[in-house]
């Protein structure tokens, strides 16, 4: 399971002032904690800064990679901001995200190809986000076909089926699971990723719903997630679910985590 640490996002109260003041120590500490907790990519999002986003995103990439050996998930819909960040990025970056919307696709897809980046492909187009799995699969296929036609490898594509709150409709959780299963079955080389926390929006005891949803998504074929790696119980469920579903050969990752004490206090 590829883990994208979600915490460095200016929509979070503590992060925006740290980015605005260029508090490198604060940002580095936030990145290090996620990396040490098991994140493979560190998400960097400065979207709430509007006009200052390109400068801030470039600074975040330089600051984080100057302190830890981790690739960055460059989180923006803004091609200018993405390009600025890619220019200073070391190694293979991930771009979060592209859609089938004509303007957004044409602005971001060339950057994915030019820099050989991984890319999160959201199952939405000019008509918005389809409400059911069938519609999301159609959009996902369109994205996969258009990206691969440009020479982008299947293994660098991460389809995000988009998570809606189940409080708004009982079908939304199942739509995500069905989209993951269908896309992974038809395109075995493609990855499936999602941000889990939207599923529980508006409901009490949100962590419980997030945890249950994570386990179900992994069984459906999810192999990457944008989550908080400091949530020890959630990370423990990643290891346990992958061991049970056969994604962790001989339970090697599970055993390593257990020996490192990563499950202490959660069972």
Q: Which domain holds residue 38?
A: 2-259
Helices marked H in 38-129: 53-65, 79-88, 102-115
Cα separation, 169 vs 119, in Å, equals 29
Q: How many CB atoms lie within 10 A of CB 246?
A: 8
Is the preceding omega at residue 97 within 30 degrees of 0, hence cis? yes
Cα separation, 124 vs 105, in Å, equals 11
Statement: residue 208 has pLDDT above 90: yes
Closest C-alpha to 35, from 74, 81, 4, 78: 4
Q: Is residue 57 part of a domain?
A: yes
Per-residue pLDDT of 33-92, as tens digits, reads 999 999 999 999 999 998 899 999 999 999 999 999 999 999 999 999 999 999 999 999
Per-residue pLDDT of 153-206, as tens digits, reads 999 999 999 999 999 998 999 999 999 999 999 999 999 999 999 999 999 999
Q: Is residue 266 part of a domain?
A: no
Q: Is residue 154 part of a domain?
A: yes
Q: Is residue 180 part of a domain?
A: yes
Per-residue pLDDT of 102-155, as tens digits, reads 999 999 999 999 999 999 999 999 999 999 999 999 999 999 999 999 999 999
Q: Is residue 265 part of a domain?
A: no
- The whole-number pLDDT of residue 162 equals 97
- Burial (0-12, 13-18, 19+ Cβ within 10 Å), 265: exposed
Q: Is residue 21 part of a domain?
A: yes
Closest C-alpha to 16, from 55, 38, 65, 49: 49
Domain count, the chain: 1
Q: Is residue 142 part of a domain?
A: yes
- The whole-number pLDDT of residue 50 equals 82
Closest C-alpha to 88, from 113, 71, 102, 110: 71
pLDDT band of residue 95 (cuts 50, 70, 90) is very high
CATH number at residue 108: 3.20.20.20
Q: Is residue 267 part of a domain?
A: no
Query: HSE of 246 in the Cβ direction (CA atoms, 13 Å)?
Result: 2
Average pLDDT score over residue span 223-232: 96
Cα separation, 60 vs 47, in Å, equals 12
Q: What is the DSSP secondary-structure string of 120-170?
A: EEES-BTTB--SSHHHHHHHHHHHHHHHHHTT--GGGEEEE--PPPGGG-T
């Amino acid at each position: 399971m590829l883990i994208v640490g979600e915490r460095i996002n200016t929509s979070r109260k503590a992060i925006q002032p740290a980015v605005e003041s260029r508090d490198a120590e604060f940002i580095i500490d936030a990145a290090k904690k996620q990396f040490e907790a098991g994140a493979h990519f560190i998400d960097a999002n400065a979207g709430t800064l509007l006009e200052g986003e390109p400068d801030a995103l470039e600074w975040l990439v330089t600051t984080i990679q100057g302190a830890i050996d981790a690739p960055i998930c460059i989180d923006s819909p803004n091609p200018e901001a993405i390009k600025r960040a890619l220019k200073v990025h070391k190694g293979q970056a991930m771009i979060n995200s592209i859609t089938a919307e004509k303007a957004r696709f044409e602005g971001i897809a060339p950057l994915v190809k030019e820099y050989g980046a991984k890319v999160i492909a959201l199952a939405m187009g000019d008509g918005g986000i389809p409400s059911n799995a069938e519609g999301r699969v159609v959009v996902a296929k369109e994205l996969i076909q258009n990206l691969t036609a440009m020479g982008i490898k299947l293994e660098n594509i991460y389809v995000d089926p988009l998570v809606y709150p189940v409080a708004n409709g009982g079908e939304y959780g199942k739509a995500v699971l069905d989209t993951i299963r269908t896309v992974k079955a038809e395109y075995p080389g493609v990855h499936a990723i999602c941000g889990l926390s939207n599923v529980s929006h508006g409901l009490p005891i949100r962590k419980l719903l997030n945890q249950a949803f994570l386990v179900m998504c992994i069984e459906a074929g999810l192999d990457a997630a944008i989550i908080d790696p400091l949530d020890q119980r959630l990370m423990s469920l990643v290891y346990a679910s992958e061991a049970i579903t056969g994604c962790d050969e001989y339970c090697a990752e599970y055993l390593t985590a257990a020996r490192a004490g990563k499950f202490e206090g959660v069972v």
